[in-house]
Amino acid sequence: MTDHTDNASRTEASSTPDEYGHGVYVPRPVDPRWTTRPETPADRAAVHAINTAAFPTRDEADLVDALRADAEAWLPELGHVAEAPDGSPAAYALLTRCRVGDAPALALAPVATSPAYQRQGAGQAVVRAVLNAARMRGEALVLVLGHPEYYPRFGFVPASRYGIRPGFEVPDEAMMALVLDDSVPVPAGMIRYPAAFGV
């Protein structure tokens, strides 16, 4: 399989400490087994089905639909799919606009893989692809609320290291941040999610 992204974007994030011991974004080769690309309007039904199948409820699928309707949050080029061998979407990752205080950032959610393709690298490939796309468009910071055993492989570290916190109670290790551009000062403060997140 080939990756439809250009060579400059065939990278992944890894955690390399900066002078303060924080993880920063470092390019590495992407898994060549999976073709990744931005989603298109033709993918909407498949994306909805992936999110519905990957989670216990339809909440994540409905979240994507609500985010699409939010002009301030939705960034069309930052929803990506990994393709199954037949070209249909097998995994999905979405970045939307959020803020830390008044500074722009990105929220990674949801990340979903069709049950038929779980534990085969599709989810990791699509996360790498969407993080690469964010880096290439000049974004500096990504936040994720997720499994602390999974997301550090992409370079995420606890957001509290930067003084970033959500407006609700979560385990410290589950709220994570990834710096894509360490030349931009990392903002501290409260995360402001799009209204569709309901937090």
In a domain, 185, yes or no: yes
User: Hey, which residues does 111 pair with through a beta bridge?
Assistant: 93
Residue with tokens 């339809």: 58
Return the pLDDT at 33. 82
Return the pLDDT at 120. 93
Q: How far apart, in whole angstroms, are the C-alpha atoms of residue 27 and residue 101?
A: 28
Q: How far apart, in whole angstroms, are the C-alpha atoms of residue 30 and residue 101?
A: 33
What pLDDT, in 10s, does the model give residues 18-68?
A: 444 445 555 445 567 899 999 999 999 999 999 999 999 999 999 999 999
pLDDT tops 80 at residue 105: yes
Q: Provide the token pair at 140.
A: 């500096």
In a domain, 86, yes or no: yes
Q: Which pLDDT band, with edges at 50, 70 and 90, does 199 fall under?
A: confident
pLDDT tops 60 at residue 7: no
CATH, residue 149: 3.40.630.30
| Domain span at 128 | 7-197
Please give the span between the terminal C-alpha atoms of the chain, in angstroms, as a whole number.
40
User: Which residue blocks in 55-197 are alpha helix, DSSP H?
Assistant: 59-68, 122-136
SS3 label, residue 107: strand
Return the pLDDT at 198. 87
In a domain, 163, yes or no: yes
User: By C-alpha distance, which of 49, 34, 23 is closest to 128?
Assistant: 34
In a domain, 2, yes or no: no
In a domain, 12, yes or no: yes
In a domain, 24, yes or no: yes
Residue with tokens 């992409």: 154
Return the pLDDT at 96. 98
Q: How many domains does the chain have?
A: 1
Tell me the average pLDDT of the chain. Answer: 87
For the entire predicted model, the pTM comes to: 0.84
pLDDT tops 90 at residue 156: yes
Q: Provide the token pair at 47.
A: 């994306």
